[in-house]
Structure formats: structure tokens, C-alpha cells
Chains A and B, each alone.
Chain A
């Protein structure tokens, strides 16, 4: 009973260790951290500009670091206007703004970047080993399910490593580049939002792993996953257009549930029930995508 679980964990450790040592992964992590760093820099730039405007209106001197006039920007709705299109509207933005805006802003970027990172890293993980046949070294030691789930877990751990580093970077940059941030509150918001971004990213991870299990060619699985990833918003828009009370509309409504992007705004809700429902749906989608790939992997000659 314990053996498959232990094997899965060992495969995950193997996957994590092997990935961390590869240059490709290091570049992808750097790209993610670069994106997070850029988001902090962009926020401070926007904030500086808005604060300079307010300082001019109030005829007060500007500060060397942005953040001193944040309460005024919150009061006049500038920050709300900035966040509203990203989190599902004014109401959602207003409800969220009891938390440090920088944490929310970085959370938006993390939700956008992490799925891309995971699709990129995970979509070749099994297919590359099928191609090089190095998967045979594992196959003779453990089952295919343990290998597939272990690799999925390994990639999830990679995502967690990336987001943890991202939280640390954003917090350090925020504390250094801004003034008036409550360290604990900023850290809590960053950690919470990045954790939700991990949950939001799970269907994309399932999609990438599914592609990697489905195809024995790493280039093919990467292209397949990337095209599906890019095609999903388009498909979502088309399905939304045709959704409605008639039969076709209902089918479209049902199909829309398989588009992970549609749960974006639900993760920004302040209602925990809504967030948990989105979590459940995202996890089911992740498992579905993964299972479709695994069904082929289980039967294929390796």
C-alpha cells in the first residue's frame, strides 16, 4: 500500500532534482522571476507617476520612493481602476483593496505567468524521456502510474519553488522600492495570491503533462500544449458567444467548463466558497487532462 506512494514521491524528487539541474529550467525560472520583478517595477513606476500627479495637485513635495500617497490613491479610486479589469470588475477590486495593492498586482502577474511556465516546462518532461528512452531506467523499477503521477508532482513542486522565490523577490523589491508597506501584510498577500496562482495553474499543468504523456516526441508535445494553451481563450470566447438556453447553448456552456481561464475571476473573489468551488473545478480539469494523456501512456510501447 505504501510502496506506490513512496515510489511516486521518489519519482517526484528525481524529477525535481533533474529539472533544477537543467539549464532550460533555470532559464524558465529566471524568466518567471524576471516577470515578477518587472511587475513590481511597473507597479512602482505607475505609482510614482500617480503620486507625482497628486503631489502636484496638493502642492506637496514628492517622495524619493512611491507609496507615501497610496491612501489618497486608494481613496480617489486610481488603484481600483488599475486593478478592476484584472480581477473581474470594480466591486471585486474594491473588496480586495483592504490588502496591499502591490500583493494583488503581483498576484495578477503570477496568475498570468505561472501557467505559461508550467506549460513550457512540463509539456516535454515525459515525452523527452520516451524519445531518449531514459524512461526505461524508471520503468524497470516502478509502475507507469507512479512515474506519471510522480512527474506531475515534481512539476507541481517546481511551480511551488518558482512561486516561493517569486514571493521572496516581490516582497524584497516592494520593501526596498516602496515606502509605507506593512511587511507582514505585504508578505501575507503575496503568499496568498501566489498560492492561488498555483491552484489556478493546475489545469494548465495537467494539460502540459497530458500532452507529454500522450505524445512520444518532445517537440510535438510542446507544440501541442502551447497551441492548446493559446487556443483555449479563443475557444472560450467562441463558446461564450454561442452559449445560451437552447441545446447548442447548453453544450457550449458545458464545454466552457473545460476552459481553465474562465475561473480567473473566481479566484479573485473574497468569498471563500467561490474560491473553493473554482479550486475543485480546476483540480478536476487538471486530472481530466492528465488522465487523457495517461490512458495512452499506460498502453504505449516504451
Chain B
């Protein structure tokens, strides 16, 4: 492993953070493999934003270590330009235009003057703001401002991107466009994204970290966390078996994930042969169901 290409783009070990008497993070430990898109999930107050803020160097941890891109904790001298962040609740300076802001931020990230215009144009096009690039931020809608902040996070193709609620305030079409844009980064850029929209994360992320009360309660690939690698739920339309007027749900559990496709095929074949009408085949459980189970649905 070298500093340039660590296996994990982010490794967090034993992170503690208190705000007064409240413990926001409690020995938080997890890692994010390089090139993955990782969802950071948890209920309100679980510590997601605090974690992101510590990774980005906005907050100082009371104890524990953060290793970002194999170069230790965030340090502008080492990481500037290699880390992009979308802070959840940071307000944009309203007097400037998106282009003016991105120009200066890009230069601060080390984008050369000869490339800055092209880099800014690219990222503004990516977030569908090319036509409002020279409008004052004050005149932009909430969703447009959100897209400016997304553009700032993706500016200059950073190696690691932290996104806190990136689609908050975006309309469905814009949210989908952004998800597609983020998905296109897979393999090139490591993305750590926090969102309450679990369906969105389930479709976007290949890895998940679930935190609750400042602790990591589940961590792994999306397949493992949702159980889609070893579990299939088959829903049969009524009436089946004959005489039963309610839908039937069957759960197929495989002890070895490699046998699951074949076992599923066999089960479906038998059911169809018996005259069953298959309504749905769902690999694993939904991410939402897993997270609610991990963090407590009553919260």
C-alpha cells in the first residue's frame, strides 16, 4: 500500500467527540474502501454530520484517529484539492455568482489558471447550472444553491468526496441526475454520502456504514447489509395454495451466498410448476428495514 493508493480511502478508529455533556461519537470505528460509494446512515443525532465534520477538519475529535487517503487526518497542506465536501447546513455567500465562487475555490484547490474556466464550466454543467452561472447567489432558489454546493464538492475531481444530504431540496429530476452523476464517479473517486433517503442510498451505494448513538452498529457491502447475497423473499399472489385468499411470502435463506441463485431458480421453478403466480422477487431485505432493525424503529 502506498500513500497515493491506499486500500481504504478512509479509516476511522475509536473516534470520540463530546459537545458539553452529550457524547456525539463513542469510539466510532469504520473504514471506506478506495473507489467505493459508501452511505453513512443513522437516525437524527446519530453523529453523521459530526463524523463528516471531523473527517473534513471542521471539528477536532476528543480522541481517536482519522486516516484520510493514507495521509493521516485532514490537513489542508496535504489534502487541499483532494477532498471535496458538501456541508449540510453551510450557507453560500450570497453577493457573488456561482462562477465567481467556484473560480476562487478552484484556484484555492490548486486548479491552474489556464484550466479554471473549463473546470468550472464542467462542474456547473454537471449540476445543470450552466445557464445561471453568472446570476447572483441571492437570486437563486434553494435547490439551485444546493446544486452550487454540490458543484463545489465535485470541483476539480477530488479523490474523496463527502456529501451530507446531497439531494435535500432538489426536485426528483435533479436528484436523479445527481445520483447518476455520483454513480459515474464509482471506481475513480471515493464518495461518503449521508442521507435519510435510504432508497436513494440503496440504489447508489455499494457499501454502507450504519451508526447510532455515535457508534458503528453495522458496516459492510450493500449486499451483505441488506442480505441480498444470501436471502430472497418471494411473494405469491392469492389464491395460492388454493383456497387461501391472502398473499404468501416465502423467505429463502442460503448458508453459502454462492448457492443462492441456483436455489432461487429451483424454488421458482417448483412454485410455477405448482401453479403459483409470482408477484415479486426481492433479494434480501430493504435497506430501510435493516436500518430500522439496527437503530430501533420507535425512535
Whether A140 contacts B91 by the Cβ 8 Å rule is no
**A255 CA / B87 CA spacing, docked (Å):** 44
Whether A17 contacts B59 by the Cβ 8 Å rule is no
For residue B90, CB closer than 8 A to chain A, the reply is yes
Whether B59 contacts A140 by the Cβ 8 Å rule is no
For residue A238, CB closer than 8 A to chain B, the reply is no
**A134 CA / B152 CA spacing, docked (Å):** 12
Q: Within the complex, which residue of A21, A133, A146 is in contact with B96, where a contact is CB–CB below 8 Å?
A: A21
**Interface segment, B74-82, B211-219, B283-291?**
B74-82
Knowing A137-B105, A141-B105, the reply to whether A302 touches B59 (Cβ < 8 A) is yes
Knowing A18-B96, A136-B90, the reply to whether A141 touches B57 (Cβ < 8 A) is no
Whether A301 contacts B60 by the Cβ 8 Å rule is yes
Whether A22 contacts B95 by the Cβ 8 Å rule is yes
**A3 CA / B79 CA spacing, docked (Å):** 13
**Interface segment, A6-14, A175-183, A212-220?**
A6-14
Question: Per-position contact with A for B92-125: 1 when CB-CB < 8 Å, else 0?
Answer: 1101100011001101111000000000000000
Could you say which residues of chain A place their CB within 8 Å of the CB of B83?
A: 140
**A146 CA / B108 CA spacing, docked (Å):** 10
Whether A136 contacts B96 by the Cβ 8 Å rule is no
**A140 CA / B156 CA spacing, docked (Å):** 13
Could you say which residues of chain B place their CB within 8 Å of the CB of A146?
A: 76
**A132 CA / B137 CA spacing, docked (Å):** 15
- Give chain B nearest CB distance to A299 CB in angstroms: 8
For residue A237, CB closer than 8 A to chain B, the reply is no
Q: Within the complex, which residue of B58, B80, B93 is in contact with A141, where a contact is CB–CB below 8 Å?
A: B80
**A7 CA / B107 CA spacing, docked (Å):** 8
Could you say which residues of chain B place their CB within 8 Å of the CB of A272?
A: none
Whether A141 contacts B96 by the Cβ 8 Å rule is no
**A106 CA / B263 CA spacing, docked (Å):** 92
Whether B87 contacts A136 by the Cβ 8 Å rule is yes
- Give chain B nearest CB distance to A62 CB in angstroms: 49
**A17 CA / B56 CA spacing, docked (Å):** 26
> Which residues of A128-161 have CB atoms within 8 Å of chain B's CB atoms?
129, 132-143, 146
**A138 CA / B95 CA spacing, docked (Å):** 16
For residue B201, CB closer than 8 A to chain A, the reply is no
**A133 CA / B84 CA spacing, docked (Å):** 16
Could you say which residues of chain B place their CB within 8 Å of the CB of A142?
A: 76, 80, 108
- Give chain A nearest CB distance to B149 CB in angstroms: 8
Knowing A11-B108, A141-B81, the reply to whether A302 touches B152 (Cβ < 8 A) is no
Select from chain B the residue with minimum beta-carbon distance to A138.
B108
For residue B85, CB closer than 8 A to chain A, the reply is yes
Knowing A10-B104, A18-B93, the reply to whether A301 touches B77 (Cβ < 8 A) is no
**A302 CA / B101 CA spacing, docked (Å):** 20
Could you say which residues of chain B place their CB within 8 Å of the CB of A134?
A: 90-93
Could you say which residues of chain B place their CB within 8 Å of the CB of A301?
A: 53, 58-60
Could you say which residues of chain B place their CB within 8 Å of the CB of A137?
A: 87, 90, 92, 101, 105, 149, 152
**A302 CA / B74 CA spacing, docked (Å):** 14
**A13 CA / B108 CA spacing, docked (Å):** 11
> Which residues of A233-265 have CB atoms within 8 Å of chain B's CB atoms?
none
Could you say which residues of chain B place their CB within 8 Å of the CB of A7?
A: 80, 108
Select from chain B the residue with minimum beta-carbon distance to A6.
B107
- Give chain A nearest CB distance to B273 CB in angstroms: 59
Q: A17-B100, A133-B90, A139-B76 are in contact. List 4 more A-B contacts (CB 8 A).
A: A133-B87, A137-B90, A137-B92, A301-B53
Residues of B within 8 A of A (CB): 53, 56-60, 76-77, 80-81, 83-85, 87, 89-93, 95-96, 100-101, 104-105, 107-110, 136, 149, 152
Residues of A within 8 A of B (CB): 3, 7, 10-11, 13-14, 17-18, 21-22, 129, 132-143, 146, 299, 301-302
Sorted nearest first, the 6 A-B pairs with minimum C-beta distance are A21-B95, A133-B90, A141-B108, A132-B91, A143-B76, A14-B104
Sample (26) of A-B pairs whose CB atoms are under 8 Å apart: A3-B77, A7-B80, A14-B104, A17-B104, A18-B93, A18-B95, A21-B95, A22-B95, A133-B87, A134-B90, A134-B91, A134-B92, A134-B93, A136-B56, A136-B87, A136-B90, A137-B87, A137-B105, A140-B76, A141-B81, A141-B105, A143-B80, A299-B60, A301-B60, A302-B58, A302-B59
